[in-house]
Structure 1
Amino acid sequence: MSLLQERKASGTPQYDPRKPSVTSILPNGDIPNFEGLTADEAALVALGYKQEFKREFSLWTTFCVSFAVLGLLPSFASTLYYGMGYAGPGGMVWGWLISWFFIQCVAMSMAELCSSMPTSGGLYYAAAVLAPPGYGPFVAWITGWSNWMVQVTGAPSVDYALSAMILAAASITHPSYVPTDYQTFLLTVFVMCIHGCISSMPTLWIARFNSVGSTLNIIALLVVIIMIPASVTGSDTHPKFFPSKEVWSVQNGTDWPDGIAVLMSFIAIIWTMSGYDAPFHLSEECSNAAIAAPRAIVLTSGIGGLAGWALQLVVAYTVADIPAVLESDLGQPWASYLVQVMGQKTALAILSLTIMCGFFMGQGCMVAASRVTFAYARDDCFPFSSWIKQVNMHTFTPVNAVWFNTVIGCALLLLIFGGSVAIGAIFSVGAIAAFVAFTIPIFIRVFFVGDRFRRGPWHLGKFSKPIGSMACAFILVMMPILCFPSVRGNNLTAELMNWTIVVYGVPMFFVIVWWFVSAHKWFKGPKVNVEHAIHEREVVEGIEHSSTSDDHSIPDKKADLASGSAPAPMELR
């Protein structure tokens, strides 16, 4: 009795190759050999990739990495200028709620894709599979490069903000000290190298390290939310807590109408909440990935959104002088705010907690970025891909990809010497590049996919298209807004210009030119790297299944079939 017959007789659920549980790039009729694989490994093989990492991330540790990448406290500290400066406390409180609702729609739509295609390539893979026939490689090319820009700028931007906070703490302690650009650059590069070393460790070590980091992030966030109201001093000129009428009103800090100013303030939450895609990129190292990874995505955006709003409320009700916070000589609005509303020792304590959380955040960004770079190099997207995609035989992690990103990140940090506007561009570039990468596969899924999408075990059911439509609408509205400068007309100067469209648009222009000049000849989208079979179908007791063989030995296929040596597919549980 064959293995398939035994499973049928025993009542064991069978893997039916005609109804795969993943949306795959494998050509119709290609059925991989699932013999001896676990359910996670079989799902990955069905996607066209062999298992190269150890699956030592759980739901909790995957959530920990993404929550560390989210880094609510350091992210809030890094982007306070945008949320507070563009629309005042009104943009911080109800503006956060509006944008968080739509960001949650984006996260849930992404989680549905992740459950169907749990691979490190993530959005890039999904775009390639779901695109209309003939457009898959081009769509994957645009999505992949845009997403890589998010990842490669993530750690440098976080580590730059971290270094600025460290030096601001030094300035608070020693008022005569004024940090130089050179010192900021060297400190940031030093932190980047530390994160590179940590991200090169074995998977289990990284998972444990990020568990500690996320636990600290959660505890620190709760402590800060409690400490600020308890520590605010107040004065004769301003109360400890401002009335809700003032807090929930827009204080327009731009030259645009109030509505546009509120939309511009959304960059704070968009950048803060940009880490929820990390579980998608860690899915090849996650156990029970088709369920655990999408759950981690939704948990990250949901818990992060609510906790972040609580922090926004606390600051909005206590900030005394917004212009003084934004224009302080400390050069870091969060540090300026803390010193303004409480005693120096308490301010330094909270700033220290923020710095520690920022360190773990930068490391989480480095891990997620290295997995994306590895996935793209595996498909030969980069020059020197053959070196980048090598997995270290001692740690079983993509060490070469880690250090490739580290070198690129250190080069980007040279923008520090171009001034605050130049280095600030990496924050806004991360936001718009993420939105482009997020939008393409979701948009295709909602409006063009047809029957090329097969739902995974985690899905939105009948709400899939409505939620996806709201996600796409929000992103399409916000993309041009992210490129607006805060001033216009005669007030607009080179120093106040929003250079996002240039910093993002120029590289993407060359990426598109590269496609039409050369890449379209050799880049065909995600590359299958498993030995899959060109099958012949046979019927066993009325069940159609596939006999398989190595695609490198097709002439021997019929001999294998005749001898009965071809293995039967393994069930996907």
Structure 2
Amino acid sequence: MEERRRTSSSQTLAVATVFADGDVPDHIQEMSEDEAALAALGYKQEFKREFSAWTTFAVSFAVMGLLPSIASTMWFGIGYASMAELASSMPTSGGLYYAAAVLAGPKYGPLAAWITGWSNWFVQVTGPPSVDYGCASMILAAASIMNPEYVPQNYQTFLLTLLIMIAHGCISSMPTLWIANFNSVGTVVNILCLCITIVVIPAAATTTPRFRPSASAWGIQNSTDWPDGVAVLMSFLSIIWTMSGYDASFHLAEECSNAAIATPRSIVMTAASGSVLGFVLNALIAYTIVDVDAAMGSELGQPFAAYLQQILPRNVALAVLAMTIVCAFSMGQGCMVAASRVAFAYARDGCFGPLLSGPLKRVSRRTRTPVNAVWFNAGVGVLLLLLIFGGPAIDAIFSIGALAAYIAFTTPIFIKVAFVGGRFRRGPWHLGRLSQPSGVAACAFILVMMPVLCFPAYRGENLTLVDMNWTCLVYGAPMTFILVWFWVNAHKWFKGPKINIEHHMLHLGLVGVEGIEPGADAKQVDIERASESKTPPA
């Protein structure tokens, strides 16, 4: 969108993407560009903007955590740009939830925000325990490699995971600049460890030959009861869960300077780097793994550790596993930060109900971070970790993250594509003519994948309670309760994102965008669209 400059007697303020003429918040002369943009979206500045484009990317990349993600979800299988466009237009901590409410309009906005918000919170709240569970499992697998007689017990995995989550909660409660610096260092270490692993695996492999034939590496080894095509789609769970981290940048928008540009760039950087490096690592594993069944059924209880033990000398395998553990720790901390910002943003609008929303939306005066939200998520995560004692049921925290992520990611994109179309008010970063096709492609892929994520590996007489895919129950049961709660009671008090700073956006800007009342302010909207069309895509 074109950059409009508003001049006061004291300063000249350039505000991109959100202000139509007459939409200026009161006291705008005292605000920075980012604060003014946030005010126009309906919120006051509560965090310190100490994240840069790099440190925002650092958190997002850490949450994606390619090396530990692929290692943790090896059980499950050997629409990024559209979200970036939304982030540029509406850079708030609420992210997808806020976008869904704005795009759906006042009539359906609360329901769209409710579904998107709760689905996205399910993604975020399952992220830290799932990552930390994977980290703890790899630590105990390393102990088993060093002492073959040691067999990890469930209670040991639980206690170690609990300890890691407490550490992440403490780090995530620190001041914003400390968190930004921690994640910056963590991401550098993440990238270095990933690159070292990609080099070490083929260089130090002791297998003969070192690489499997391409026919084997690219072939389909189907261990399910489904046709090969369906089995390939089911293996996407690992990729979906890994790549679900790129929305973390969206949730840090209120702590990032120049958010309307830095946030979408961070999302694209995360998606692009994750796609390339993730493909390289997955291809490397496919070419070097010796025995898939042995890795999956290893007594180590961690397929990636068993894979490393297959192909590398003992000490080298332990070194690579140690690097993966370090990356997993960094990833879990990034997940905790992102989850706390989501909980804060939703509580700010009353999404958690009258009792919980008050404490969760408080920002610590000392650290200027949502400390209550951090520990609330940590507490819920600890409860989820009790699934460890349910055997394979613990796998549900991985699959629910993937399914809930897709529903949360797609809802605002679908509304934008199907109902808003050309009336969408773009930010300074946008896709131009590719906006609509990109959104359609994302929605089509997700509609195919959502049911696949709920398929069990076996069917018919081969399907047992142990092998059941519990995703539908673990996600469906609470989500059903959430929907019933909305229809019975929550619709009376939950009206979607609230306005907690005086501004003049709703009476003009959002009305025009959403098409709430056909013809309302149509002339002004047409003028703005004409101005926007002159801006080339970023």
TM-score of the superposition, structure 2-length normalised?
0.90
Match of 2:181 among 199, 202, 208: 208
Quick check: 1:340 aligned with 2:310? yes
Match of 2:165 among 173, 192, 204: 192
The residue number in structure 1 matching 2:60 is: 66
Tell me how far 1:342 sits from its aligned partner.
Answer: 1.3
Tell me how far 1:9 sits from its aligned partner.
Answer: 12
Distance change (3 Å), C-alpha of 1:234 and 1:141? same
Percent sequence identity over aligned pairs: 65
Match of 1:409 among 381, 384, 403: 381
- 8 Å contact 2:13–2:29 — kept in the other structure? no
The residue number in structure 2 matching 1:47 is: 41
Deviations 1:459-481 (A, max 9, x none): 00000000110000011100000
- 8 Å contact 2:169–2:336 — kept in the other structure? yes
Structure 1 distance, partners of 2:140, 2:6, is 68
Q: How does 1:130-141 map to 2 (within 5 A)?
A: 130-141=103-114
Amino acid at match of 1:205: W
Quick check: 1:32 aligned with 2:25? yes
Match of 1:178 among 135, 151, 163: 151
Tell me how far 1:276 sits from its aligned partner.
Answer: 0.2
The residue number in structure 2 matching 1:254 is: 224
Deviations 1:433-481 (A, max 9, x none): 0000001000011110156521000000000000110000011100000
Q: How does 1:99-498 map to 2 (within 5 A)?
A: 106-235=79-208, 239-382=209-352, 383-419=355-391, 421-450=392-421, 453-498=424-469
Tell me how far 1:231 sits from its aligned partner.
Answer: 1.1
> Which secondary structure does the structure 2 equivalent of 1:525 belong to?
coil
Deviations 1:167-224 (A, max 9, x none): 0000111111111111111110110000000000000000000001000000000000
Amino acid at match of 1:230: A
Q: How does 1:495-534 map to 2 (within 5 A)?
A: 495-532=466-503
Amino acid at match of 2:114: W
The residue number in structure 2 matching 1:571 is: none
- 8 Å contact 1:23–1:453 — kept in the other structure? no
Structure 1 distance, partners of 2:499, 2:384, is 33
Structure 2 distance, partners of 1:360, 1:52, is 26
The residue number in structure 1 matching 2:517 is: none
The count of residues paired between Structure 1 and Structure 2 equals 502
TM-score of the superposition, structure 1-length normalised?
0.85
Structure 2 distance, partners of 1:58, 1:536, is 32
Deviations 1:235-254 (A, max 9, x none): 4xxx2211112211111111
Structure 2 distance, partners of 1:196, 1:445, is 36
- 8 Å contact 1:23–1:117 — kept in the other structure? no
Structure 1 distance, partners of 2:11, 2:308, is 64
> Which secondary structure does the structure 2 equivalent of 1:384 belong to?
helix
Distance change (3 Å), C-alpha of 1:474 and 1:335? same
Tell me how far 1:35 sits from its aligned partner.
Answer: 2.3
Distance change (3 Å), C-alpha of 1:38 and 1:80? same
Tell me how far 1:133 sits from its aligned partner.
Answer: 4.6
Structure of greater Rg = 1
Amino acid at match of 1:439: T
Amino acid at match of 1:32: P
Structure 2 distance, partners of 1:301, 1:50, is 30
Distance change (3 Å), C-alpha of 1:169 and 1:471? same
Distance change (3 Å), C-alpha of 1:23 and 1:186? farther
- 8 Å contact 2:40–2:504 — kept in the other structure? no
Structure 2 distance, partners of 1:527, 1:6, is 26
Structure 2 distance, partners of 1:264, 1:184, is 27
> Which secondary structure does the structure 1 equivalent of 2:457 belong to?
coil
Q: Which runs of 4+ in 1 moved over 6 A?
A: 8-15, 534-537
Structure 2 distance, partners of 1:5, 1:59, is 23
Structure 2 distance, partners of 1:59, 1:11, is 25
Distance change (3 Å), C-alpha of 1:47 and 1:338? same
Structure 2 distance, partners of 1:107, 1:23, is 26
Structure 2 distance, partners of 1:452, 1:224, is 47
> Which secondary structure does the structure 1 equivalent of 2:244 belong to?
coil
Q: Which runs of 5+ in 1 are unaligned?
A: 85-105, 538-573
RMSD between aligned residues: 2.2
Q: Which runs of 5+ in 2 are unaligned?
A: 509-538
Structure 2 distance, partners of 1:119, 1:464, is 21
Amino acid at match of 1:523: F
